Structure 1
Amino acid sequence: MDITVIGAGVVGVTTAHALARRGHRVTVIERLSGPAEETSRANAGQRSYGVVYPWAVPGLARKALFWLLERDGPLKMTWPPSLETLRFLFATLRYANAPGVYGLNRRAMLRLGEYSRQCFHDLESAHDLTFDGEHDGLMHLASTPEAMTEYLATSELLSELGIAHRLLGPEDVRAREPGMTGSGPLFGALRFETDGTGDCHGFTRALAASAESLGVTFRYGTTVTALEGDHRQIRGVRVSEEGGGEEVLDCDAVVLCAGAASPKLARSVGLFLPIYPVKGYSLTVPMDHPERGPYSTIHDDRYKVVSTRLGDRLRATGFVALSGFDRRIPEARLETIRRSVASRFPGAADMSAATPWTGFRPMTPDGPAIIGRGTRDNLYLNTGHGTFGWTFSAGSAELISQVIDGESPALNLDPFRPGRFAE
């Protein structure tokens, strides 16, 4: 089939690559100048297969209020909030308070994470991809005794699902992370044994080059303006190029992988996607003393900041901000990230010289991504992955390819169905 993939972030490129390996003729449309130039550009660097969880967590209202009032709290919101922000929050609270929904969605996301881990291993075994990628585990620190109690409960669920993990005491944590010499409180950690790291931007660019060798066509600097067809099928994709005119690209199927830009295109064919651009920030800097930096990925539960080693670089990421598509980077947010790094890995890098970034994670109000067939026979969706796009990308690409080819998907996709928000 001739398949058009909309979006060249990590999800779009992994999807295109999976389809090309199956023998399809694939064209990828991307409005920016290259692959992974938006949300995939400088994310946390963690492939956290065992750490995934829904956005709509029970007790969210109480936690959100506390975080909003706390100076270094991980949740921030523009005031007054926009109507779009309020709608997203109300929808989130509805899912958070729905009995049993969180548990079902978390299990579904963990199963997708484990499947994606396997798919990443397959990709890395079959292709020479350079992106500072490792699978040396990930640790969630416990800065309070209460955090360790929560990790005990999490450990039971992980054991139920067969996800490799260990509970560690403070001495074990420091033995695994000798660079962690800071004064931040430490009562132990939950270690995810097989989770990974890697530069998402580097991976996506390397995989895009591999996809081109398989015959995939990438059209950068090209904007999709409409999906054209009738009530049953998409007949073509109307695009416009920078400095050029419009044209309609004929295709047999369309896969929407446009992240936070997906809702607008979906509305044109009668599909409601309540995806909100949840904003995050990161700092990336070469390490002056790599031996003082993290060995793999460390989640500091005190600041909700993730520090990751990417080769000889340190990347630290934090915050979820509800501010629409506002690209401003407040200095206060960066200072919180710097405080977290200093409290765990002092002297590893000059964080004042780090390169800042902000991006928009495409979040659904309940948490699971949107994977499956849309409102037309040949419209498919692989979008709305929230903070876990890098983690889920390899697995969700295989799953949507299985759906397109009429196969039974490797996982139950009911929690990820595109039409669930209209029910």
Structure 2
Amino acid sequence: MEIAVIGAGVVGVTTAHALQQRGHRVTVVESHAAAGLETSRANAGQRSYGYVYPWASPAMLKKALPWLVKRDGPLKLQLPPSRDTLRFLAATWRFAQAPGLFEANKRAMLRLGAYSRQCFQALEDDATLAFDGGHGGLIDLASDVESLKGLQVNAGLLDEMGIEHQLLTAAEVAEHEPALAHSQPLVGGIWLPGDGTGDCYRFTQALAAVCQARGVRFLFDTQVTGAQRDQGGHLRALTLAANDGEALEPLAADAFVLCAGTASHRLGELFGARLPIYPVKGYSLTMPLRDASRAPRSTVIDDRHKVVVTRLGERLRVTGFVELAGHDREIPSQRLATLRHALASRFDGAADFDAAEPWTGFRPMTPDGPPVIGEGKRNNLFLNTGHGTFGWTLSAASAQLIAQLIDGDKPALALEAFRPGRFG
């Protein structure tokens, strides 16, 4: 089949790779000049297969107000909030209050994460990719007894689902991450040895190069401006334009896959798909190592500042904040100062702050949390988008699931929690 994939972030490129592996002829349309230049550019670097969870959490709602008013709190809201922001918050509230929904969605996302780990291993066996990747595990720290109790509750669910993990004392944390030997406050943590790391941008670029070498066509600097349908309403071609406005030849295909991140909200309307995806803003700093002995070996989550610190070869990345500010790309100095402070509080002297590269980007978040994976209203439109903070983690699995659906195979996982029509 001829298949058009919209979006060349990590989700779009892994989808193109999965489809090419099955013998399809694939064209990827991307508005940027290269692959991986939007949300995939400088995310947390963690592939946290055993540490995925829905956005709409009852516990998060209880913490939201204190986080908002705290100067360095992890949740920020631009004032006055836009109409889109208010709609998103209202929908999040409804989903968070739905009895049993958070627990069901979390289990579904953990199953998707476990499957993604298998898919990444198969993908890396298929193609040699250089992206500072590894599977050194993830440690979530507990700075106090209350945080440790929360980890113990999470460990119970991991036990139930057969996901390998280990609750750690403070001394055991230091055995896994020696740089934390003298870090305080620290009472323990949870270790997920199967979780991984990697530079998502480098991975996406490398996999795109592999795809191109195998015949996948990429149309960069290209906008999708419309859709052409047949008399039955099925998609037949995409109307395209260059970024300078010049009309391009329509792209005909037998099937279409929308993997456009936050742009999926707008593009979905062209295809009759209601996708209430919101751009949740985050920040990161990437810097060269100054002293490797003071740096983490893999990924560490600091419970106090809600930041992720990830080792990427000879670099270190610290990522944080959930900010609801639309598509505002400003990087306030206070956000970067908080990231620096959080990193120094755990790994003082590990990295060269003077050479730090700041970044901000938008995670495509659904109001309930799970991504959208499945078939649209028309039988040749497929949706693979809305992965929120876990696009890098879940991309390999969702790509395989879409490829299975397109070929008429039974999906490897139940897709009820990810169905496109759940928003009405």
TM-score bin, normalised by smaller chain: over 0.9
Q: Which residue of 1 aligns with 2:18?
A: 18
Deviation of 1:181 after TM superposition, in Å, equals 5.0
Q: Secondary structure at the match of 1:179?
A: helix
**Equivalent residues in 2 for 1:100-179 (5 A)?**
100-179=100-179
Q: Please tell me the residue identity of whatever aligns with 1:277.
A: P
Q: 3-state DSSP class of the match of 2:37?
A: coil
The residue number in structure 1 matching 2:300 is 298
The residue correspondences of 1:194-273 to structure 2 (distance < 5 A) are 194-230=194-230, 232-243=233-244, 244-273=246-275
Contact 1:9 1:37 in 2 (8 A): yes
8 A Cα contact 2:139 2:192, kept in partner: yes
Q: Which stretch of the first structure deviates more once superposed, 303-312 or 54-63? A: 54-63
Counterpart residue identity of residue 370, structure 1: V
2:191 matched to which residue of 1? Answer: 191
Are the counterparts in 2 of residues 155 and 165 from structure 1 also a CA contact under 8 Å? yes
**Structure 1 runs of 4+ off > 6 angstroms?**
none
1:354 to 353, 356, 361: 356
Whole-angstrom distance in 2 between the partners of 1:172 and 1:101: 34
Q: Output aligned runs, 1:325-336, within 5 Å.
A: 325-336=327-338
Per mean C-alpha deviation after superposition, the further-off stretch among 38-47 and 145-154 is 145-154
Whole-Å Cα distance in 1 between the matches of residues 306 and 360 of structure 2?
16
Q: Distance in 2 between matches of 1:242 and 1:109?
A: 36
1:377-388 matches, cutoff 5 A: 377-388=379-390
Q: 1:62 maps to what in 2?
A: 62
Offset from partner CA, 1:323-346 (integer Å, 9 cap, x none): 000000011111111111111101
AA partner of residue 395 (structure 2): S
Superposed CA offset, 1:164-221 (max 9, x none): 1000000111121112256431010011110000000000011111111221001111
Deviations 1:296-338 (A, max 9, x none): 0000010000000000000000001000000000111111111
Distance in structure 2 (CA, Å) of the matches to 1:183 and 1:14: 38
**Could you report, residue by residue, the CA deviation over 1:350-399 in whole angstroms, capped at 9, with x for unpaired residues?**
22431000000000000000000001110000000000000000000000
Aligned-partner Cα distance in 1 for 2:203–2:50: 20
Matches within 5 A, 1:77-88: 77-88=77-88
Contact kept, 8 Å, 1:278 with 1:360, in 2: the verdict is: yes
Pairing 1:47–2:47 present: yes
- In structure 2, stretches of 5+ residues that fail to align are none
CA contact (8 A) 2:171 2:181 kept: no
Whole-angstrom CA distance in 1 between matches of 2:57 and 2:394: 19
Match for 2:420 among 414, 418, 421?
A: 418
- Partner secondary structure for residue 419 of structure 1: helix
The separation in 2 between residues aligned to 1:332 and 1:181, in whole angstroms, is 29
Post-superposition shift, 1:72? Answer: 1.2
State the partner residue of 1:402: 404
Contact conserved, 2:74 with 2:320, CA < 8 A, in 1? yes
Does structure 2 conserve the Cα–Cα contact (< 8 Å) formed by 1:6 and 1:257?
A: yes
Structure 1 pair 61/85, CA: closer, same or farther in 2 (3 Å)?
Answer: same
Deviations 1:114-143 (A, max 9, x none): 000000011112211000000010000001
Taking structure 1 as the reference length, the TM-score comes to 0.98
Cα pair 2:288 2:355 within 8 Å, conserved: no
Let me know the Cα RMSD of the aligned residues: 1.0
Cα contact 1:181–1:345 (8 A) shared by 2: no
Deviation at 1:288, TM superposition (A): 1.1
**Alpha-carbon distance between aligned partners in 1 of 2:44 and 2:373, rounded to the nearest angstrom:** 23
Q: Deviations over 1:247-299 (max 9, x none)?
A: 21111010000000001111123221000000000000000111211110000
Contact 2:371–2:418 (8 Å) recurs in 1: yes
Aligned residues: 422
Task: Tell me the TM-score normalised to structure 2 length.
Answer: 0.98
CA contact (8 A) 1:132 1:199 kept: yes
CA distance in 2, matches of 1:238, 1:163: 45
Question: C-alpha distance in 1, partners of 2:375/2:207?
Answer: 25
Q: Contact conserved, 1:181 with 1:344, CA < 8 A, in 2?
A: no
- Whether the 8 Å contact between 1:49 and 1:391 is mirrored in structure 2 is yes
Letter in structure 1 aligned against 2:169: G
3-state SS in 1 of match to 2:58: coil
1:315 aligns with 2:314: no
Q: Secondary structure at the match of 2:14?
A: helix
The code of the aligned residue for 1:361 comes to: R
User: 2:154 is matched by which residue type in structure 1?
Assistant: T
Residue identity matched to 1:313 = R
| Distance of 2:407 and 2:163 partners within structure 1 | 29
